[in-house]
Amino acid sequence: VAVRAGFRLCFSAALVFGLALPVPGAFALDLDLPTALRELKADLRWDPLSLTGTLAIGRHQVVFRAYDEQTSSLAVIDGREVLREPGPYLSAGGLLFPPAFISALGAALQNMPGAAGGDFRIAAVIVDPGHGGKDSGAVGTHVIDGKKITLKEKDITLQVALDLHARLVAAYPDKRVLLTRKADTFPRLEDRVEVANSVPLNEKEAIVFISIHANASFNKSARGYEVWYLSPEYRRTVIDRKDYSESEEVFPILNAMMEEEYTTESIMMARAIMTRFDQAIGARSPSRGIKAEEWFVVRNARMPSVLVELGFITNPEDARLLADQEYLRNLSEALYKGTVDFVATFERSGGFTTDR
Ligand SMILES: [Zn+2]
Q: In a structure prediction context, what are the per-residue pLDDT tens digits for the chain, which is 356 residues long?
A: 222 222 222 233 333 333 333 444 445 689 989 899 999 988 887 777 777 788 888 777 788 888 777 776 678 787 667 787 888 988 887 889 999 999 999 998 887 765 444 567 888 998 989 889 999 999 999 999 999 999 999 999 999 999 999 999 999 988 999 998 999 998 876 676 677 667 777 777 888 889 899 999 999 999 999 998 865 444 333 333 333 344 455 544 444 444 444 566 787 889 999 999 999 999 999 999 887 644 333 223 357 788 899 999 999 999 999 999 999 999 999 999 999 999 998 887 766 544 33
Phi-psi domain of 50 (left: phi exceeds 0; alpha: psi -120 through 50; beta: other)? alpha
| β strands within 37-146, DSSP E | 42-47, 52-57, 60-65, 75-77, 81-83, 89-91, 94-97, 121-129, 139-144
- Name the amino acid, one letter, at 80: R
214/313 Cα distance (integer angstroms): 7
Q: CB neighbours (10 Å) of residue 274?
A: 23
CA of 41 to the centre of ligand 1 (A): 39
CA of 30 to the centre of ligand 1 (A): 54
CA of 135 to the centre of ligand 1 (A): 10
3-state secondary structure (DSSP) of residue 305: strand
CA of 132 to the centre of ligand 1 (A): 10
CA of 250 to the centre of ligand 1 (A): 8
pTM for the predicted model, two decimal places: 0.60
Q: CB neighbours (10 Å) of residue 312?
A: 29
The angle at the Cα of 196, spanning 190 to 200, to the nearest 5 degrees, equals 130
Q: CB neighbours (10 Å) of residue 152?
A: 19
Question: What is the per-residue pLDDT for 152?
Answer: 97
Question: What is the per-residue pLDDT for 190?
Answer: 66
The DSSP bridge pattern shows strands 287-291 and 42-47 to be unpaired
* Cβ atoms of residues 160 and 181 within 8 Å: no
Residue 126's DSSP bridge partners are: 178, 209
CA of 214 to the centre of ligand 1 (A): 6
Question: What is the per-residue pLDDT for 42?
Answer: 86
CA of 279 to the centre of ligand 1 (A): 23
CA of 299 to the centre of ligand 1 (A): 29
CA of 83 to the centre of ligand 1 (A): 53
CA of 213 to the centre of ligand 1 (A): 4
Residues lining ligand 1 (ion), CB within 5 A?
130, 137, 213, 246
- Name the amino acid, one letter, at 311: G
